[in-house]
Amino acid sequence: MIKELITLSESDIYPFHMPGHKRRGFVLDDACWLNEAYRYDITEIDGFDDLQSPSGIIADIEERLASLYNVRKAFLSVNGSTCGNLAAISALVPAGGVLLADEGAHRSVHNATILRGCRYTHLKREAIPGTGLTSCVSPDEIENKLMKAKKDGCLPDAVLITSPTYEGFIAYMDRIADIVHEFGLPFIADSAHGAHFTEDMFHADVTVVSLHKTLPAMTQVSAVLVNGETVKPDEIKRYINMFQTTSPSYVLMSSAERCVNIVENKGADLRNRLNSNLDRLYSLNSELKNLYLTGNEQKGKYGIFDFDRSKINLIDRTGTLSGSGLYDILRKDFHLQPEKAGSRTCLMMAGIMDTDEGFDRLINAVKEIDDRIK
């Protein structure tokens, strides 16, 4: 798609079609960086496929995504993981049905149950003492809820959990998949924050990943991965088409192709660099007196199988600084913009595109803040 967009932008074909900017920037502002993007922003014209029913260059991107994640089928979404969650739930839970879902699920999961007129039965997460964080849904929690539901004669229509969580905690996905399938139910995973895990991570029948959250794709670009034998990919796609715009951005879709190119060609080297920088960062725990980078020590507890170190949870163990206090200091004093402030922790997100210099600044900031606390 990238090659085709460049060829079109350099041709003399005049666009008597949408969008209204006609692949031209604004004369009023010749220096605007958006001017370049306008050259590649088109609609579904000849040779550029159709996201609603792809058979050409868009289908090629989806096939490469399926290969990257080693799943049966992958569908591109330019309406984010929200669209993926809405589609998966709509396809697998009938109107008026029951969804057994993570109590910490994204708002799109709640919205899907409203649209379908479904009942939402909660799966509990344990609180992690002293951190203000919640863990993952455990296999025992799911098995107990399903056993009770079966005894009561009211099994849900599907099970959904979030893994990795926003803060990076990863559930026992293989065990949970086995439990759910033993009850003959489909398993949905909201893995919006797990797109960077491309190795044997996807045990659910339908997994939703946000390429833009943790990989180098533009905002809104996600994928819906179908891997279960009992799930009909065409039904998932039917609902994606219902919830997704019929005017998809080719700039966004081409960024999905660019993302796959980077992961395929440079992914190993970029991951090695990221892991090296994360090693440097987490090694601070041995010398910090007041601050702590929390997460790793929770593995094997509270239903947590593993921890994604790229989700950096900084906590002041003395209680002097709250999560918002750490957030404000990092942003104002060190010009580092965190992702989120929790009650006790400040969350930062790292990825394969982060630089050594960026990690240098974060490491120095953490050391200096630690020294400030008396």
Residues 239 and 290 in one domain: no
Residues 367 and 283 in one domain: yes
pLDDT tens-place string over residues 62-76 = 999 999 999 999 999
Mean pLDDT value across residues 222-233: 92
What is residue 134's three-state secondary structure? Answer: strand
CA–CA gap between residue 189 and residue 201 (Å, rounded): 11
Mean pLDDT value across residues 236-254: 96
Residues 132 and 211 in one domain: yes
pLDDT higher than 80, residue 29 = no
pLDDT higher than 90, residue 110 = yes
Residues 218 and 71 in one domain: yes
pLDDT at res. 34:
80
Parent domain of 328: 268-372
Residues 115 and 85 in one domain: yes
Domain presence at residue 43: no
Residues 97 and 239 in one domain: yes
CA–CA gap between residue 63 and residue 264 (Å, rounded): 13
Domain presence at residue 82: yes
Domain presence at residue 44: no
For residues 310 and 275, is the Cβ–Cβ distance under 8 A?
A: no
pLDDT tens-place string over residues 355-369 = 999 999 999 999 999
pLDDT at res. 209:
96
Residues 319 and 227 in one domain: no
> How, if at all, do strands 119-123 and 98-102 pair?
parallel
Residues 21 and 76 in one domain: no
Q: How many domains does the chain have?
A: 3
Mean pLDDT value across residues 327-341: 94
Domain presence at residue 263: no
CATH number for the domain spanning 111: value is 3.40.640.10
Residues 341 and 200 in one domain: no
Domain presence at residue 47: no
Residues 187 and 68 in one domain: yes
Partnered with residue 146 across adjacent β-strands are none
CA–CA gap between residue 117 and residue 34 (Å, rounded): 42
Residues 157 and 278 in one domain: no
pLDDT at res. 230:
86
Average pLDDT, the chain: 93
Task: For residue 371, report the phi and psi dihedrals to the nearest 5 degrees.
Answer: -70, -25
pLDDT tens-place string over residues 168-195 = 999 999 999 999 999 999 999 999 999 9
pLDDT higher than 90, residue 353 = yes
Partnered with residue 208 across adjacent β-strands are 190, 224
Residues 280 and 348 in one domain: yes
pLDDT higher than 80, residue 137 = yes
pLDDT at res. 28:
56
